[in-house]
Structure 1
Amino acid sequence: MLRVLYRLPDLTFAQKLNDLAEAEGVSHNRIHIAHKDHLATQKKHLNDLSFLEEYDTVRSGERGFLIGILLTVLTGLAVHELMEGHPVASVVTFFACMVVLGYSTWLGGLIGASSDNFRLQPFHDHLEKGGSVVMLDVESTSVSKLTRVIAVQIPEAEPAGRSQRLDNPFMGSWLLRKHS
């Protein structure tokens, strides 16, 4: 499954692209539209982005988790060394490790909740000016046919990239762009 992105001048063209993609067999649930005005998107019965798609919460939480694993190992070694020989050393070490891991994951998610999704960061200014970005989740076998049809039917649709549908916590910049 590939995610194909298109940059469009406004929501009217996004609706045309949505209708065309559905006519070509793309399920309504696999079409996501990023636009500044969420209410207008919903009034046109288009799939607006969910909180998890619009913000970088999941990917930043994953990064926090990975950093937390490293901090957990260091915490576990330090607490175990400090409490060596104590009867509850293993329980305290386990609890301290879980607190560090949970806190780092939570903090990563909070940082991501205030930042644009890394896939939408390049389009931040375009979206602020009233443009829209359409994300189509398409089977890899039908991508070329769909892109040809879209290029012919909607010349205003500017191809903006392709990516895997699953997020990789190491993709994108480590410097997050704050959501406005």
Structure 2
Amino acid sequence: MQRHYYVSDDLNDLKAVEKELEQSGISSPQLHVLSENDAEVEKHHLHAIEAVLKQDVVHSTQLGAVVGVIGAVFILGITYLMQWHTTAAGWLPSGFLAIVVLGFCTWEGGLVGIQIPNYQFKRFQALLKQGKHVFFVDVDPNQYDILTEVAERHHSLVHAGTGDATPAWVVKGQDKFNQAMKALP
């Protein structure tokens, strides 16, 4: 899947684009609107980005975890090289310290991520401050023609590039979940 970004200042037109894409077979988990005016996006019944995903929490937490793993491996490596594991305490203190370092770095990465915009959306910050909205669609290669056809009919949409999309298995899972929720009485 590939993500296609569009910029617009007309939420009514974005609602029409969403409706056309859904009628053409692109599911709602593939459609998102990023805006600083969440109330208006909600009022137009558009698929807004979750607040936590506007920030870089997930990405920064992952980076923190990588740093934590490196720190934990370093601690365990030093313990082995210095032969501290041969003492009466064995691996327990070093193992515990490695777990604490991993947890702390992961937690700290998440805290840093809360304070900064999502790395995928940083390029749109100036446009968002101007009151514009970013509409993005995650499409399979076989859906690209549908997206292009619909986008060409809406002149308020300005193509703003591409990026990494949500994995297809996540989108399919969201589709199945939505279908199951609709089937409930």
TM-score by length of 2: 0.81
Structure 1 match to 2:140:
139
- The root-mean-square deviation of aligned C-alpha atoms, in Å, is 1.9
Structure 2 match to 1:35:
35
Name the aligned partner's letter for residue 15 of structure 1.
K
Please give the alpha-carbon distance, in whole angstroms, between the structure 2 residues aligned to 1:118 and 1:155. Answer: 28
After superposition, give the CA deviation of every residue in 1:1-32 in whole Å (9 maximum; x if it has no partner). 22211111232332232222222221122211
Question: Does structure 1 conserve the Cα–Cα contact (< 8 Å) formed by 2:17 and 2:150?
Answer: no
Question: Does structure 2 conserve the Cα–Cα contact (< 8 Å) formed by 1:14 and 1:132?
Answer: no
Which one is further off, 17-26 or 58-67?
17-26
Alignment map for 1:1-180 (pairs within 5 Å): 1-80=1-80, 81=82, 83-151=84-152, 153-166=153-166
- In the alignment, structure 1 segments of 5+ residues that lack a partner are 168-180
TM-score by length of 1: 0.83
Q: CA deviation at 1:149?
A: 2.6
Aligned residues: 166
Question: Does structure 1 conserve the Cα–Cα contact (< 8 Å) formed by 2:85 and 2:91?
Answer: no
Higher helix share: 2
Q: Are the structure 2 counterparts of residues 90 and 46 from structure 1 closer, same or farther at C-alpha, using a change threshold of 3 Å?
A: same
Could you say what secondary structure the match of 2:126 adopts? helix
Please give the alpha-carbon distance, in whole angstroms, between the structure 1 residues aligned to 2:136 and 2:85. Answer: 54
- In the alignment, structure 2 segments of 5+ residues that lack a partner are 168-185
